[in-house]
A = this chain, B = another copy of it.
């Protein structure tokens, strides 16, 4: 499987083409929209989120509610296009040069992007670098989830902390746990922490500041054997890292015990192997991946999301024409997007696992994929 994404933040819309999805998978477009909706929520989002209410239009690849095996393309319209159609026109119309943005915002792609692509109007960079692009990554994940569901594979995320305020951790994360987390608009479990976090967000808003945080993703029921140790670029951990670190604002990634493994001795880190009816482990410091291969335990990774770089109390930068010192412009007004980042990571994880599933089990139709999968499960039971 592979996909390409396209689209500028205030352009006509975002576009995805996903190639390699098996045929005969039932697709509920409502579920794609549900994921797009989850992506837009979370305490601390600005005004634009309410304008948008994203809705996916499938342009190809699905007929009568089932995939055809042909490329699936999805368009997510910019609902605010009417207000932008002149300033984002693809035609060479007369345009007001005064609207162009001459100063790059710290923490964004603006400066290196303007140099790389030889642009003087930062808008020509920021429109594409915008996290608006994650509607596509979410859509790809929402399709993947509908495939994974057929194999009982489920992905969840929780926000571990925002601005340093940490949620209570709970050992057994059962369905009721995840329901609570999903219901929270900071994706946390503990109502007390949630309250504190919201106060932090409100405070940051008052200060014209922004907050980052940490997200954890859990992939349940992933079979043993996805990824491979035989070549470094086939390691499941490496693929997850690539995909998650490419998400806007992510500056750190760890699997299982992650950075803690750098402190504790080997005797306390590695997960002993047991057999009773089936192979299993009693600890999961590996986060479900050993030697770059899924080992049958829950896959768990964690990522650090930096604060949104556009501040209402703006940072200082340089006008690239005059070279004068100026305040950065304020394109967007979110204070905290960590819960949204969690939803997106969940969907990215679904995409990675679905891709690996198809690579390992082959099969062009859902029926073939399932037959192959079930045979492997039978074999696994016999080992």
Chain B residue nearest to A93 in the complex (CB): B64
Which chain B residues border A230 with CB–CB below 8 Å? 19, 69-71, 128
**Integer count of this chain's copies in the complex:** 4
Which chain B residues border A13 with CB–CB below 8 Å? 59-60
CB neighbors of B among A180-239 (8 A) = 204, 207-214, 224-225, 228-233, 235, 237-239
Q: Is A115 an interface position by the 8 A CB rule? A: yes
* Bound Cα distance A261, B285 (Å): 24
Chain B residue nearest to A380 in the complex (CB): B115
* Bound Cα distance A238, B137 (Å): 15
Binary interface profile of A, 88-132, with partner B (CB < 8 Å = 1, else 0)? 111111010000000010111111111111110000110111000
Binary interface profile of A, 238-267, with partner B (CB < 8 Å = 1, else 0)? 111111111110011111111111111111
Chain B residue nearest to A115 in the complex (CB): B224
Asked if B246 and A237 make an inter-chain contact with CB atoms under 8 angstroms apart, the answer reads yes
Binary interface profile of A, 16-41, with partner B (CB < 8 Å = 1, else 0)? 11010001101001000000000000
Given known pairs A261-B304, A361-B362, the reply for A292 and B246 (CB within 8 Å) is: yes
Q: Is A72 an interface position by the 8 A CB rule? A: yes
**Cross-chain contact of A290 among B111, B124, B380 (Cβ < 8 A):** B111
Asked if B270 and A70 make an inter-chain contact with CB atoms under 8 angstroms apart, the answer reads no
CB neighbors of B among A278-321 (8 A) = 279, 281, 286-287, 290-296, 304-309, 311, 313, 315-318, 320
Given known pairs A15-B60, A70-B128, A269-B306, the reply for A232 and B254 (CB within 8 Å) is: no
User: Which of the candidate stretches A46-54, A144-152, A169-177, A370-378 sits at the interface with the other chain?
Assistant: A370-378
Given known pairs A5-B232, A304-B258, the reply for A211 and B251 (CB within 8 Å) is: no
Chain B residue nearest to A215 in the complex (CB): B262
Asked if A212 and B106 make an inter-chain contact with CB atoms under 8 angstroms apart, the answer reads no
* Bound Cα distance A383, B115 (Å): 8
* Bound Cα distance A224, B293 (Å): 32
Given known pairs A252-B253, A313-B267, the reply for A95 and B19 (CB within 8 Å) is: no
**Cross-chain contact of A242 among B209, B242, B309 (Cβ < 8 A):** B242
- Name 15 interchain pairs, CB-CB below 8 A, sorted by A: A4-B71, A6-B72, A15-B73, A64-B95, A68-B119, A111-B279, A115-B380, A128-B230, A212-B263, A245-B253, A251-B258, A260-B304, A261-B305, A279-B318, A358-B362
20 more CB-based (< 8 A) A-B contacts, given A64-B91, A372-B372: A6-B59, A6-B73, A7-B60, A15-B60, A63-B90, A66-B92, A69-B128, A69-B228, A107-B290, A108-B291, A112-B296, A116-B360, A210-B265, A212-B264, A212-B266, A225-B364, A251-B255, A270-B315, A272-B315, A359-B362
